Chains A and B, each alone.
Chain A
Amino acid sequence: METGTTEADIISTVEFNHTGELLATGDKGGRVVIFQREQESKNQVHRRGEYNVYSTFQSHEPEFDYLKSLEIEEKINKIRWLPQQNAAYFLLSTNDKTVKLWKVSERDKRPEGYNLKDEEGRLRDPATITTLRVPVLRPMDLMVEATPRRVFANAHTYHINSISVNSDYETYMSADDLRINLWNFEITNQSFNIVDIKPANMEELTEVITAAEFHPHHCNTFVYSSSKGTIRLCDMRASALCDRHTKFFEEPEDPSNRSFFSEIISSISDVKFSHSGRYIMTRDYLTVKVWDLNMENRPIETYQVHDYLRSKLCSLYENDCIFDKFECVWNGSDSVIMTGSYNNFFRMFDRNTKRDVTLEASRENSKPRAILKPRKVCVGGKRRKDEISVDSLDFSKKILHTAWHPSENIIAVAATNNLYIFQDKVN
């Protein structure tokens, strides 16, 4: 890590809200920073709305688990926005153990002219009050406040990896390594356990839950992925405890190809429904796969993110990089998918044209407003001028978290402690 990089600044999650007007980031220090898109003015047609800081607050603090003598990190694992229902914005943020519902609201008026208090808030001597006045609301500088409205605690023994807001806007789920719980936004002291894969004997543990998400339209349906590369789709109407899946997605493996690394690299680090709800996308260590909900026996599309790493698995295992959890995202129309890689590279795959591109998020290699140049990693001996050889890749510069605006071609890419926002070229 470069000198001067505070660990607390490492971005751990990025998420646009449903309109794309707001972009939230969470970091290792438990803080949330929200950016807001500038309103496009008539004077500056060429300048697309840029994102500026709107609000920042401390969401989670480090805690100590007295029972296990373990520290509970304040790192924000996930942020999910609620759809906007009034003037305020609501989001869920979670660390390993506790989910919080935050309300972010604006205040641009302040009451002035109290009778019993002076302007500094000091109580006035009632004997000096001879007249009565009506307090009025006067404009003030815009203040954005974040308040914690609900704290959903003490429901997870293991570490929360996912939260997902249901399409009914009344419930949401939180998933840890072995269990998934269903919550109602209004109730913090109870949650329903809907998936429990903890074996009676922990020695028999063979897989853990790695990610979970609700279907975008069907409030009874959700999926969860496992460390063994499988995805289960569950229907909450079938039973209260969804241990038995409705659908089971797994790609058959050629047993002759099996190696020590097979299971580790097949572990799914992220699962995302398409906006249409017809497909799911999964990310494992080397590939991104698209599955049709109607076909369980294999994915319909497989994209190689960085297959050249297959010949580096030994060292990637030794430096723990093989356990890195990359996320993946769909664009608004489900035609392009994006995921991160190493060396601050990120990849985009166009599902229709089958073309892909590798881009880099770094200050040295791009100036603001410059067009990103595609990058290429060279595998063989002969390296062209612009290419980077596999051995020169910086594995400490990993892009794990990215986000795509819900309707426009604007992407947010988190490169360790820096946030990059890229937009489509104007003309």
Chain B
Amino acid sequence: MEDKVTSPEKAEEAKLKARYPHLGQKPGGSDFLRKRLQKGQKYFDSGDYNMAKAKMKNKQLPTAAPDKTDVTGDHIPTPQDLPQRKPSLVASKLAG
């Protein structure tokens, strides 16, 4: 009589095959790998992308108050006058 003790892994595999009978018929490796290489949300074109981003931005948190120390309008600014970097619109929670 054959020993019928199955490893937990094989039992899980049987469960998976029962739910998805066509799984693993093609070499499993390439399917996963192909999906992995293709990571990222696909958009129809750049217009579609920009529309999606604009929609997301409206839902985002309130914008930062305009920077009162901006040196513009009165004279031509020099490199020293300009702020070093545009600050993030929304600062990281860790930094707050």
Contacts and interface: CB of A to CB of B under 8 A. Distances in A.
Partners in one complex: yes
Interface of A: 6, 8-9, 11, 25, 27, 29, 31, 33, 53, 56-58, 62, 64-66, 68-73, 96, 120-123, 145-147, 158-159, 177-178, 202-203, 205-208, 227-228, 257, 259-264, 310-314, 317-318, 323, 417, 419
Contacts of B80: 121
Contact of B36 (A72, A177, A206): A177
Nearest to B77: A121
A159 B46 contact: no
B interface, how many residues as a size bin? 35 or more
B62 interface: no
Nearest to A69: B43
A32 B55 CA distance: 25
CB-based closest 3 A-B pairs: A56-B95, A311-B8, A313-B12
A53 B95 contact: yes
B29 A206 contact: yes
Nearest to B49: A64
Interface string B79-94: 0110011111011111
Contacts of A260: 13, 16-17, 23-24, 28
A158 B37 contact: yes
B30 interface: yes
A145 B83 CA distance: 10
B12 A311 contact: yes
B40 A71 contact: yes
A147 B82 CA distance: 13
A259 B9 contact: yes
A210 to B, nearest CB: 10
Contacts of B15: 314
B42 interface: yes
Contacts of A70: 40-43
A264 B30 contact: no
Interface centre among A121, A202, A257 (most CB of B within 10 A): A121
A292 B56 CA distance: 49
A208 B34 CA distance: 10
B75 A261 contact: no
A31 B92 contact: yes
A72 B9 contact: no
